[in-house]
């Protein structure tokens, strides 16, 4: 993350750019298919023309956007495996053996720390997996091509962890599954970056596409809320919580926005980065202590372990 342009270097580039009368990337002709793809990604994600030119000139596709593609392949593979084992692909979460999986987060098993992360490989059903996969490929892959795997994986994983911790604090009796925490962190950061740089973003039909993205996110969130309060197939344990979505959104509009707004700049030079990172760390520490002490102090009646 630190191998980026400093503020002084960026100012020098900006001053040099003012002296040049080069035409915009959109006016370039005779580009190959790969060059047009790189130009398209630049206009989809970057608000400043100088950053778009910098990205276009320096991008080599080495390494490729491996993180989002790998995560997606693993999620689909686990879903297909569970579908075969459970003999169910729609609403897998209603199967009586679903909660016995060692990957999902369950409040009775919250001491098993890996569950706060590995729950992303379990999905409620094909309708849950499908929307998450589409969003993280359409949004996550272009963002990783521009900002790199280190930054985008940080936002994604931070959203995933914040999602499970938010469930453990705000919806203490519920399990959680799905990659919505990470997906919502990326999509929320991208949408917020577009709104904050509206005049500079030159992506086509941005208002319509933002509306479609918000409708898809709202549909998925509404499905999660409905499922949470729908009568459980295995009482007294409720269906998975929807709080992970909100945890991901909070990461996206804080840490995610700072990362996306500072293309090729060192994050340690940004005051907001340290502020939001400190808030995130404080939340994580608070949630850890909450999980250690609050459940016993509140004398909460949890569902039996699977």
Domain count for the chain: 1
CB 173 within 8 A of CB 223: no
The residue among 202 and 173 whose pLDDT is bigger is 173
Q: What is the mean pLDDT of the chain?
A: 87
**Domain contains 20:** no
**Domain contains 30:** no
Among the options 153, 164, 180, 241, which is catalytic? 180
Active site (annotated) includes residue 245: yes
- Residue-wise pLDDT for 118-173, tens only, equals 999 999 889 899 999 999 999 999 999 999 999 999 999 999 999 999 999 999 99
**Domain contains 57:** no
CATH number of the domain where residue 283 is located? 1.20.1540.10
**Domain contains 32:** no
Among the options 147, 190, 239, 245, which is catalytic? 245
Question: pTM to 2 decimals?
Answer: 0.89
**Domain contains 290:** yes
**Domain contains 97:** yes
Q: Residue 3 — pLDDT band, cuts 50, 70, 90?
A: very low
pLDDT value, residue 1: 45
Active site (annotated) includes residue 239: no
CB 92 within 8 A of CB 82: yes
- Residues 50 and 39: their CA atoms lie apart, in Å, by 13
Range of the domain at 221: 63-298
What single DSSP character describes residue 105? Answer: B
- Residue-wise pLDDT for 79-100, tens only, equals 999 999 988 888 888 888 888 8
- Residues 183 and 155: their CA atoms lie apart, in Å, by 9
């Amino acid at each position: 993350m630190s191998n980026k342009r400093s503020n002084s270097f960026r100012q020098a580039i900006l001053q040099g750019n003012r002296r040049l009368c080069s035409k915009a990337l959109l006016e370039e002709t005779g580009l190959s298919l790969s060059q047009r793809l790189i130009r398209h990604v630049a206009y989809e994600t970057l608000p400043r023309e100088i950053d778009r030119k910098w990205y276009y000139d320096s991008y080599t596709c080495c390494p490729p956007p491996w993180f989002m593609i790998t995560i997606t392949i693993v999620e689909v593979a686990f879903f297909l495996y569970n579908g075969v084992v459970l003999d169910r692909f729609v609403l897998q979460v209603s199967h009586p053996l679903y909660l016995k999986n060692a990957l999902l987060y369950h409040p009775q098993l919250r001491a098993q720390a890996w569950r706060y992360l590995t729950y992303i490989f379990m999905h409620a059903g094909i309708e849950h997996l499908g929307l998450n996969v589409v969003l993280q490929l359409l949004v996550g892959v272009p963002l990783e091509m521009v900002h790199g795997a280190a930054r985008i994986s940080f936002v994604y994983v931070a959203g995933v962890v914040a999602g499970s911790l938010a469930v453990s604090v705000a919806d203490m009796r519920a399990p959680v599954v799905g990659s919505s925490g990470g997906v919502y962190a990326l999509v929320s950061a991208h949408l917020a970056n577009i709104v904050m740089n509206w005049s500079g973003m030159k992506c086509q039909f941005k208002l319509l596409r933002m509306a479609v993205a918000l409708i898809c996110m709202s549909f998925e969130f509404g499905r999660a809320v409905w499922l949470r309060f729908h009568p459980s197939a295995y009482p007294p344990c409720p269906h998975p919580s929807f709080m992970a979505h909100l945890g991901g959104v909070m990461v996206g509009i804080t840490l995610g926005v700072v990362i996306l707004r500072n293309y090729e700049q060192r994050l340690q030079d940004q005051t907001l980065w340290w502020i939001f990172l400190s808030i995130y760390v404080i939340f994580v520490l608070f949630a850890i202590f909450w999980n250690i002490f609050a459940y016993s102090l509140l004398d909460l009646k949890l569902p039996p372990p699977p």
